[in-house]
A = this chain, B = another copy of it.
Amino acid sequence: MEKALTIYKTTRDKLNAFNYAMYVISWDSETEAPVGCMEERSKQIGNLVAMMLEVSHSKEYVEAVKTLYDNKNYLDSDLQVEITKVWEELEKELKIPEKELVEYEKLLAKANSIWCEAKLTNNYALFAPVLGEIIKWQKKYIHYLETDRLKGYDVLLNDYEKGFTQKEYDAFFTALKQDLVPFVKKIMTLKPIDDAFVYKTYDVDKQKQFAKYLMDVMCFDQNYGLTKESEHPFTSGYGTTDVRVTCHYYENILTSSIFSMIHELGHATYERQCDKKYDDTALSGGSTMAMHESQSRFYENIVGRSQSFWNRHYPILQKIFDKELKDITVDEFYHAVNKSENSLIRTEADELTYPLHIMVRYDMEKAIMSSEIDINELPKLWNQLYKEYLGIDVPNDTKGILQDVHWAGGSFGYFPTYALGSAYGAQLFHQMKKELDVDEVFGEEKLTKVNAWLKEKVHKYAGSKTSKEILLMVTGEEFNPQYYIEYLKEKYSKIYNLK
């Protein structure tokens, strides 16, 4: 047991170092590495991954983890959770033949550029064969990992959000379908909000100035992090002392950089506020994916698109863009950033319609994983679902089934966590309102109190609790999608003057 623990910790040190190296290399790739170094970089990443696998699949390490897992009652509580997590992951990994995994990685590398090309040229037929291969592999993966409890698509769903299978998601999305779809359809019949001013020209340097201001508002400590630009905004980091976010600035969309900054800083705040004791353990870096997404969306939508937040900060923005925003009132701005539209593109969707975009993908994935649906029929199904849920016609596959990179990257079962995250956020918000005067704290100069509440309730636990555990602990009940539906209906009824 003692020996097993020593082996575990020594090996963990090694794996941490590899993970750290991979983190920095990937950050470099995403933000600045020259295109011409890609071939060399891929080779070196291949070498690093091979070494990592050699370490993490070594007989000695696997046996040590198994021994600790079998005797976990003798470990302290954090270590119990950690070992359980590590063993469950390792057990899964060992079920997949390494050779097949390598082949799959090559398939994915190829798939990405084919998808890019297909999207650019609106040519689904180009993408279909490789998508077919990926789906075939996913089904093989499912086959390797199926248990009595987890079958089919559930294997993938549970991979991304532990404890969530079709049963839970079906309940969630059924509730959305019943309550939200008709509500959205009603909203769409109303007079649209005028947000034309958002698409005027806004100097990028001034946008950056406001982004810097937002960092202060959100208390982002630049001693432990930094911000940079990249094609697609993302958050990355290692432990609590190195947290980095990127942003993309569009000269002709004022709000894009603002809300992606708040969103990414939401992820960053979560990472920064984890208890430092989890650094360098397998419990570092937040709970499930959906819980992480719940936090970024909490900051972006619940705080960042609230009236009190903009009552406080709009004057600053207005001062920076004194000419462009001269005639726009805070109320007009607030309405513009909460405009709802039945749009085609998920990443540009507003808070209200967003979950309906996810619902389309969930239904698609269910169909793909459960039956023998013809790959060539997928665009038709996609377009049908957009018509049904969002009442919108999809003009082409580039703006339809080809829009997201996820499937080309082999991510099936991932999309649903996005909607779930928003719903977690609403349930947490319901509780927060009982404990804090949210109108006041959302409108303060800095979000100190919001940060402190979320740290105490969610962030500090890092990966030591599942989202189910956190929700139960904080709100006293299981996950309940009604809070989300109520939150959205209440907010948008007000915005659109519905009664």
| Interface pair A33/B242, CB less than 8 Å apart | yes
Report whether B35 and A223 are in contact in the complex, using a CB–CB cutoff of 8 Å. yes
CB distance from A369 to the nearest CB of B (A): 36
**Shortest distance in angstroms between A68's beta carbon and chain B's nearest beta carbon?**
21
Most chain B C-beta atoms within 10 Å of own C-beta, residue among A20, A226, A238: A20
Contacts of A24 in B (CB 8 A): 21, 24-25, 28
Given contacts A238-B40, A279-B40, A51 and B14 within 8 Å (CB-CB): yes
Encoded as 1 (CB less than 8 Å from any B CB) or 0, chain A from 20 to 51 comes to 11001101100011111101110110011001
A17 CA / B46 CA spacing, docked (Å):
9
Q: Is the CB of A40 within 8 A of B241?
A: yes
**Interfacial residues of chain A within 220-245, with CB under 8 A of chain B in the complex:** 221-226, 228, 238-239, 241-242
Task: Say which residue of B35, B44, B223, B238 sits within 8 Å of A21 (CB atoms).
Answer: B44
A34 contacts B279, CB within 8 Å? no
In the complex, A225 Cα to B280 Cα: how many Å? 33
- Min CB–CB distance A350 → chain B (angstroms): 34
Please indicate the chain B residues that have their CB under 8 angstroms from the CB of A223 in the complex. Answer: 34-36
- Residue from B16, B35, B44, B47 within 8 A of A47 (CB atoms): B16
List A34-77 residues whose CB lies under 8 Å from chain B.
34-37, 39-41, 43-44, 47-48, 51
Query: Distance in Å from the Cβ of A223 to the closest Cβ of chain B?
Result: 4
Is A226 in contact with B32, judged by CB distance below 8 angstroms?
A: yes
Query: By the criterion CB–CB under 8 Å, are B21 and A25 in contact?
Result: yes
Chain B positions within 8 Å of A32 at CB level: 226, 228
Q: Give every chain B residue within 8 A of A44 (Cβ-Cβ).
A: 16-17, 20-21, 238
Q: Is A439 an interface residue (CB 8 A)?
A: no
B34 near A242 (CB under 8 angstroms)? Answer: yes
For the complex, give the distance between the alpha carbons of A281 and B488 in Å.
Answer: 60
Neighbouring B residues of A51 by C-beta, 8 Å = 14, 17
Which chain A residues numbered 261 to 319 have a C-beta less than 8 Å away from chain B? 279-280
| Contacting residues, chain B, for A203 (C-beta < 8 A) | none
Query: What is the minimal beta-carbon distance from A44 to any residue of chain B, in angstroms?
Result: 4
Using A28-B28, A35-B223 as known contacts, say yes or no to A239 and B47 having CB atoms under 8 A apart: no
Q: Is A91 an interface residue (CB 8 A)?
A: no
A13 at the interface (CB under 8 A from B): yes
A22 to nearest B CB, angstroms? 8
- Chain B residue nearest to A47 in the complex (CB): B17
Residues of B within 8 A of A35 (CB): 223
The residue in chain B whose Cβ has the minimal distance to the Cβ of A55 is B51
B239 x A34 contact (CB < 8 A): no
Give bound CA distance, A248 to B390, whole Å: 53
Known contacts A13-B47, A24-B25, A37 near B238 by CB under 8 Å:
yes
A241, B39: Cβ atoms under 8 Å?
A: yes
Smallest CB–CB gap between A50 and chain B, Å?
A: 8
Task: Tell me the smallest distance from the CB of A247 to a CB of chain B, in Å.
Answer: 15
Which of B27, B34, B226, B242 sits near A40, CB closer than 8 Å?
B242
Set of chain B residues within 8 Å of A242, measured between Cβ atoms: 33-34, 36-37, 40-41
Residues of B within 8 A of A224 (CB): 34, 36-37
Given contacts A28-B28, A34-B223, contact A21 B40 (CB under 8 A): no
Q: CA of A32 to CA of B27 in the docked complex: distance in angstroms?
A: 12
State A37–B243 Cα separation when bound (angstroms). Answer: 9
Alpha-carbon distance between A228 and B33 when the two chains are bound, in angstroms = 11
| Least Cβ–Cβ distance between A404 and chain B, in angstroms | 28
- Measured in the bound complex, the distance between the Cα atoms of B411 and A119 in whole Å is 54
State in angstroms the CA–CA spacing of A226 and B33 once bound together: 8
Among B27, B40, B222, the residue within 8 A (CB) of A28 is B27
CA distance A28 to B30 in the complex (A): 13
With contact pairs A21-B44, A24-B25, A44-B21 given, residues A222 and B34 touching in the complex (Cβ less than 8 Å) = yes
Instruction: Give min CB distance, A265 to chain B, whole Å.
Output: 15
Nearest 6 interchain pairs by C-beta? A37-B242, A17-B47, A21-B21, A36-B224, A20-B44, A36-B223
Can you list 10 A-B contacts with CB-CB less than 8 angstroms, sorted by A residue number?
A: A14-B47, A14-B51, A20-B25, A21-B48, A27-B28, A33-B242, A36-B225, A37-B238, A40-B241, A40-B242
